[in-house]
Amino acid sequence: MSTKFNGAEKTERLLNLVICLLYTRKPLSKAKIRDAVPQYGTSVSDEAFDRMFERDKDELRELGIPLVTEPFDAFFEDEPGYRIDRREYALPEISFASDELAVLGLASRAWTQATLAGPAAQALRKLEAAGVERDDSSLIGIVPMVRTVEPSFEAVKNAVLQHTPVGFTYRTAGTGEVATRHVQPWAIASWHGHWYLTGFDTDRDAPRVFRLGRIEGEVTVEGTPGSYEVPENHQPTTMISTVAVDRDPQPAALRVRVGAGHSLRRQARTVSHTDDTWSLIIVDYTDTEAFTAEICSFGPDVVVQSPAELRESVIRQLTGALGGRSGGDHVNGEEANR
Amino acid sequence: MSAQRQAGQLRQGGQPSESATKRLSRLLTMVPWLLNRQGVEIEEAAREFDVTPAQVEADLALLFLCGTPGGYPGDLIEAEWESGRVYLGNADTINRPLRLGVDEALALIVGLRALAAVPGIGERDAVVRALAKLEAATGSASAGTSRIQVLIDEGTSGEMVALAKESLAARRRLHLRYLVPGRDESTERDVDPMRVINFDAHWYLEGWCHRAEDVRLFRLDRIEALTILDEDGTPPSSAQPRDLDSGVFTPHPDDQLVRLALGPGAVWVSDYYPVESIERTQDGGAVMDLRTADTGWLRRLMWQLGDQATVLEPAELVAEVQRGARSALEAYADAAGSAESTPASG
């Protein structure tokens, strides 16, 4: 029974601690805090109280509560006191017009399906706490949605914000080569529906762009926050757009069954009929990976004639689809191919 | 004592797995929100904070036990909710919400900047004003936000986005020639537009489809032709925008149940399609159940995912996927010699 209530008791203790430290004008000593917060009264020993108080302080700071340590008496500087600066704590008084809150609502809901959904909703509630209701009726109906389906998103985002060097296993596009990379993260950006990391690759001694979806497994922290500088005026989307596209568009020759492959036919440069069953189309593509997926989705209705690289990529993918994976066993792409 | 006991009982109706700090964070936002909305219904507060009404009551019961040092009744927060409406008082110390945290500021600022860059958005003025106020108010929390960017562009759909918005603003019906990718066929239909959505770098038009007599999403780059008609395009009152939280597909309960095994590189599928249930596997993959009326698109998805996904059930679909993949591969075996031929470039 008692464990069931521990959670609530701890919330009570933390809330009373916050109120007490906001309420006090002068910094409070630990002893005073122990008296003032009733839930500390139940701790059995001084050591238990000390440990509990240290943990509580850390947790409040992690929530972003500006708990400061100050000498509480000018004459006894060795004894620290604690308080929360109200001006630092409180969200500044901002008054948003109802149309401004409406677009803030749009911005917040754009993250509904991302790892930032919780913070985005909480931020909006804080802004609306003042009592102004948003007026969604003024919006003309454009709804952007941002997704973070890449498992590495949180770790990479935090590394970018804190300037922390990281390492991860990365699968290079095209070659499929898998290697450990060591990177000083500069920025992340969502570009054409994918998240990319820009940064300095310390092994290759050059700036590089990484697609988060090609990071395999965990991202590990490999240094201390703030241990490098991000170049001034770094423009992530500019860098990504010049690098992320594999190369200039190149032509592919595809045999497409008559009456099928509509989306390919629409993009085609030329379409010629070879016989009653097949058309030959010439279509430009840039991203082998993405184009392979599109071609494979047509199954037996589309056959790649050239280039050989695209042909092999499609054969590899279809062979994988034929073999597939069973239950939880991972079938490596390379093995399935040979 | 009785208040203590009552609070204890109510807490059992709460969320036992929630951490104390997460709950504290909600309480610190809930207090100013309630103080500014005296007499608000418990249900409304529950909706706003995305918790159950029982949790709101448990939170109020907890607040009721907290207050400024002293422990006398006059020091405690006053909370009253017996009538189903919430009244809160004596909580001046925490009557302002806590500043926005880094992730909170980031989500709104990056979201607003992305909105500001959406081509032709009508609310650009409000976005710019909101952004300026927010940046001023968040100070250091917004410092790194410029290094996190979301780019929403029109891609190849610029003309269609403009036409869809025009029809929305004028409330006019649209005639579409639309490519249904799952069936790889072209269709004609009339649509009353409801909203334009950008989702995974694709633009969609959501509207009431007169052919399906239901709300449908149309990807703008699959619209082959679009005409704005003279007819009024107000959708029927029964037309509700879809809840996009479960992706762009909406299943029906009598659809066929399909079980898929997904590799780590294909788990994203569960974010895009209607998931009935999902279980993670040790290697970072997943086994996922979904319902669908039409397995055509699923077959195509399986070919596309290669070795990263397999149908486990039903057996007919397993066979269909394999038959298609085998037959596609046979074409390459037959035409092995022609691999070297290069297309005419021009």
For the stretch A139-174, pLDDT in tens is 666 778 888 878 899 999 999 999 999 999 998 766
| Residue A144 domain flag | no
Instruction: Note whether B139 and B184 are same-domain residues.
Output: no
Does residue B135 sit in the same domain as residue B200?
no
Same domain for B31 and B79? yes
Note whether residue A211 is domain-resident. yes
Number of domains in chain B: 4
Residue A52 or residue B237, greater confidence: A52
Q: For residue A6, which phi and psi values (nearest 5 degrees)?
A: -55, -40
Q: Are residues B38 and B122 in the same domain?
A: no
Last residue of a domain, one of A214, A243, A272: A243
Spatial separation of the C-alpha atoms in residues A39 and A9, rounded to whole Å? 7
What is the maximum alpha-carbon separation in chain A? 98
Report if residue B107 sits inside a domain. Answer: yes
Please check whether residue B231 lies inside any domain of the structure: yes
Asked whether residue A28 falls in the same domain as residue A85, the answer is yes
Name the B residues in 9-28 with CB < 8 Å from any A CB: 11-12, 14, 16, 18-21, 23-28
Host domain of residue B302:
256-333
Tell me: do B292 and B226 sit in the same domain.
no
The 10s digit of each residue's pLDDT in B34-43 is 999 999 999 9
Q: Are residues A204 and A264 in the same domain?
A: no
One domain for residues A258 and A228 = no
| pLDDT of A138 above 70 | no
Same domain, B223 and B260: no
Residue B153 domain-assigned (yes or no)? no
* Cα B197 to Cα A154: distance, rounded to the nearest angstrom: 25
Mean pLDDT of A224-244: 87
Domain closes at, from B94, B118, B134:
B94
Domain coverage including residue A124: 98-138
- Residue ending a domain, among A225, A243, A261, is A243
Q: Is residue B250 part of a domain?
A: no
| Domain end among B204, B221, B245 | B245
Among B63, B106, B151, beta carbon nearest to A237: B151
Q: How far is CA A8 from CA B11, B60, B61, in A?
A: 7, 12, 10
Judge whether residue A246 has pLDDT over 60: no
Which CATH number goes with the domain that contains A161? Answer: 2.30.30
Q: State pLDDT tens for residues B249-300.
A: 555 556 788 899 988 778 777 766 767 788 888 777 889 888 887 788 888 8
Token pair for A329? 């066993």
User: Has residue A123 been placed in a domain?
Assistant: yes
Indicate if B52 and B121 belong to the same structural domain.
no
**pLDDT tens track for A87-120:** 999 998 888 888 898 889 989 988 887 888 889 9
Q: Which of B217, B245, B273 is the last residue of a domain?
A: B245
- Would you say residue B152 lies in a domain? no
Domain count, chain A: 4
Neighbours of A158 (CB within 10 A): 17
Residue with tokens 């933390």: A14
pLDDT value of position B74: 77
CA distance B345 to chain A (A): 7
Answer whether residue A146 is part of any domain.
no
pTM, 2 dp: 0.74
Residue A148: inside a domain: no
**A306 contacts B339? CB cut-off 8 A:** yes
Q: How far apart are CA A203 and CA A205, in angstroms?
A: 5
Token pair recorded at residue B243: 């809840």
Last residue of a domain, one of A208, A243, A278: A243
With a CB cutoff of 8 Å and minimum separation 6, the contacts of A266 are: B179, B224
Could B264 and A305 be called an inter-chain contact, meaning their C-beta atoms sit closer than 8 Å?
no
Chain A nearest-CA residue for B279: A328
Mean pLDDT over B110-135 rounds to 85
Query: Residue A289 corresponds to which tokens in the numbers above?
Result: 């990976």
Mean pLDDT of B184-202: 85
Test A23 with B69 for CB contact under 8 angstroms.
Answer: yes
